[in-house]
Amino acid sequence: MSMMTGEKYEQSLRKLNLNVYMFGKKVGNVVDDPIIRPSMNAVKLTYELAHLPEYEDLMTTTSHLTGKKINRFTHIHQSTDDLVRKTKMGRLLGSRTGCCFQRCVGMDAMNALSIVTHDIDKKYGTEYEKRFLKYLEYVQEEDLTCDGAMTDPKGDRGLPPHKQHDPDMFLHVVEEKKDGIVVRGAKAHQTGAVNSHEIIIMPTISMREEDAEYAVSFALPADAEGITYIMGRQSCDTRKLENGNIDRGNGIYGGHEALVVFDNVFVPWERVFMYKECEFAGRLVENFASYHRQSYACKAGVGDVLIGAAQTIAEFNGAARASHVKDKIIEMNHLNETLFCGSVACACEGHKEPSGTYLVNTLLANVCKQNVTRFPYEIARLAQDIAGGLMVTLPSEEDFRSPEVGKWLEKYYKGNDSASTEDRMRILRLIENITMGTAAVGYLTESMHGAGSPQAQRIMISRQVKMEQKKKIAKQLCGIKEK
């Protein structure tokens, strides 16, 4: 099969039999549901751009398994150039969608597994890598979207998996069979889950021998029997049910998250990539986290949109020439480009693992993500500052269309003559959407907690820096002799 088009991707989702719940009711048509569809549109764009000549170098590459042209989201990195192109692809898609486009997690999961399955096999003589590469070839051939699922509910954070009062707080194996395993538990905060063909499960923390049943990684079709998706709420999500599109802010694209429940789900052995190899669970987590922290170049792309919106509203308000506004725009650009620099740096400093896969520089990847937990919040604050209070006091689109009061909105919410009142309303709603509404989940909250919360990166930074070497250099320069 050749690479899917956007239309073929949409049709492929219609063939899935997903068990999805939202607002207490089962969703019969996930693809066309007005709340979910904008997130599907964002994934669809990853397929559409791959067929445009101007984006071919970023969106496509050659499979190291088959030599065929594939979508980069199904690729295993073969060089630092691959890692850099991944960064640039993320920024491109973030700027084109203004939200999370969801395919990074699966790509990062597959690259992490390509490294760890090789390492497990080398130590134990298992066949995980062979299984994984067969699975990878299937994903590439069918051009599938994969949901990488790592985060468990965790229950009592002070207890390891095997000591939880409810053992299902971490996904685990409950039964071994001749032809596979049976698992139970859940994965939380799953971005783009119902827009995916496959779901790839990974452990969420390092494991000890007592946690052996939790040290499991596998892949399943998204509509496998026993899997249920419960959609998360987002601020302003029901605006998508209203007439018109002004109040949505971003009328085309969006994101979503879900709790994915595994209720005694069967996994065939050929789909299992780790089971009971506890000492490799932490390595899988760290490799995935490093890749995914690099992936936050997408926030620079969304930042491009927000900066453009801030500049636009400044012009519509007649304030673009004010020195303090110019300075705020400069600061927003400075912070945004710094985010991008971190992602590029960890890619350029990547290295080749024994499996042949290239891994990012893990220290710089964690520094990149640590900046992402901070800078988008300041960029958003500055955008709201420039936009003004009307961003949150603006009446609804239905009021704007009202024959009784619409004329007053048209009159009193007019800015300067460079834009219509409606255009001014639209750009304000976009800023609201990115900094407070549905897109804020993918821009702000995801910036804070995605790929691990801030403390996770600080722990990794403390482990990765060469402190003894820094001390040695300092002592040498000031004449302190080593004892």
175 counts as catalytic: no
Q: Give which of 376, 377, 384 is closest to 339, Cα–Cα.
A: 376
Catalytic pick among 10, 198, 397, 446: 446
346 counts as catalytic: no
Strand (E) or helix (H) holding 461: helix 454-464
Residue 435 known to bind ligand:
no
Catalytic pick among 198, 213, 257, 397: 257
Catalytic pick among 46, 191, 204, 435: 191
Catalytic pick among 253, 296, 358, 443: 296
Catalytic pick among 104, 146, 278, 346: 104
| 8 Å CB contact between 397 and 244 | yes
Residue 152 CB partners (closer than 8 Å, separation 6+): 161, 169, 170, 171, 185, 186, 187, 188, 204
Residue 466 CB partners (closer than 8 Å, separation 6+): none
CA terminus-to-terminus distance, the chain: 66
Catalytic pick among 278, 292, 432, 443: 292
DSSP string, 199-265: EEE--SS---GGGGGG-EEEEEETT-TTEEEEEPP-TTGGGGGSSSSGGGSSSS-----EEEEEEEE
257 counts as catalytic: yes
189 counts as catalytic: no
How far apart, in whole angstroms, are the C-alpha atoms of residue 483 and residue 480?
9
Strand (E) or helix (H) holding 186: strand 180-187
298 counts as catalytic: yes
296 counts as catalytic: yes
DSSP string, 274-338: EES-GGGHHHHHHHHHHHHHHGGGHHHHHHHHHHHHHHHHHHHHT-TT-HHHHHHHHHHHHHHHH
Residues paired with residue 71 on neighbouring β-strands, in sequence order: 60
104 counts as catalytic: yes
446 counts as catalytic: yes
Q: Report how far Cα 300 is from the mean position of its chain's Cα atoms.
A: 13
Catalytic pick among 9, 46, 100, 213: 100
**Which segments are annotated as binding site?**
191
| Residues annotated catalytic, as ranges | 100, 104, 191, 257, 292, 296, 298, 446
**Which segments are annotated as binding site for FAD?**
191
